[in-house]
Structure 1
Amino acid sequence: MERVEAARDLVLGYVRALKTIDEAMRVAIPSLERLADFLGLVRSRRTLSRSGHVGTYSYKVHGAGCCFVSDNGIEVDVDFAADGRELFDLWRLRWYGLSLPKPLDVTDEDLRYAVQSLQPLLTEVRPGWFSVVS
């Protein structure tokens, strides 16, 4: 049961970290209405490059998302749906756990159980991809 609780804490930590990043980016870039708008600023090539630093985070845009890294090395990788929702999968959750100051390595099975136990806070938007319910 400890493993499942650790996985659940990891998922909740990821969700909190994502919210903290959203708030920090909107403070640093007041024109952002939501975190997904960050990609538009990068893709326009007028405001932000594909990688750099904003506030206390470094970032690197990739495909449909971005990897944000805090000054203390915690990585939060997120993809964005066409409607702007923030999406993540088990791999992103595991990577977040491994980047923590005290790395936490949990199994995909424990993470899947943790994510399912957190419904209705989280929803599976397509097989293996999850989002926070707004």
Structure 2
Amino acid sequence: MERVGAARELVLGYVQALNAVDEAMRAAIPSLERLVDVLGLVRSRGIISRSGHVGTYSYEVHGAGCRFVCDNGAEVDVDFAADGSEIFDLWRLRWYGLSLPEPIDVTDEDLRAAVRSLHPLLTEVRPGWFSVAS
């Protein structure tokens, strides 16, 4: 159970880091209503560049999402669903854990168990992809 406990802490840390990114980005860019709006600011309006720095974060827009790097080096990579909700998979959770100042390496099996244990906080929006319940 200790491994699942570590995985659970990692998942909760990712969710907290994602919330912190959201708050920092919306504070720095007043026109940002939701984190997904970063994609629109880059793609359709060119208001911000595809990669750059906002506050204590660097960011890089990619495909259907964005990767944020915190000032401590932790990486929060998130994709966005068609409705604009923030979604993530086990790979993104694992990468977050490995990027921490004191890396946490957990198996996909432990991460899967951790995510399931956090229901209803987290929901599986499609196979292997999760979102924080609103």
Q: Deviations over 1:63-105 (max 9, x none)?
A: 0000000111110000001111000000000000000010000
Aligned residue for 1:131, secondary structure, equals strand
State the superposition RMSD in angstroms.
0.7
TM-score by length of 2: 0.98
Aligned residue for 2:104, secondary structure, equals coil
1:45 CA displacement: 4.5
Q: Distance in 2 between matches of 1:53 and 1:44?
A: 19
Moved beyond 3 Å, runs of 4+: none
Q: 1:108 maps to what in 2?
A: 108
Identity %: 82
Aligned residue for 1:104, secondary structure, equals coil
Q: Deviations over 1:23-51 (max 9, x none)?
A: 00000001111101111101124211111
Q: 1:39 maps to what in 2?
A: 39
TM-score by length of 1: 0.98
AA in 2 matched with 1:58: S
Q: How many residues align?
A: 134
For residues 116-131 of structure 1, what are the structure 2 equivalents within 5 Å?
116-131=116-131
Q: 1:50 maps to what in 2?
A: 50
Q: Distance in 2 between matches of 1:12 and 1:3?
A: 14
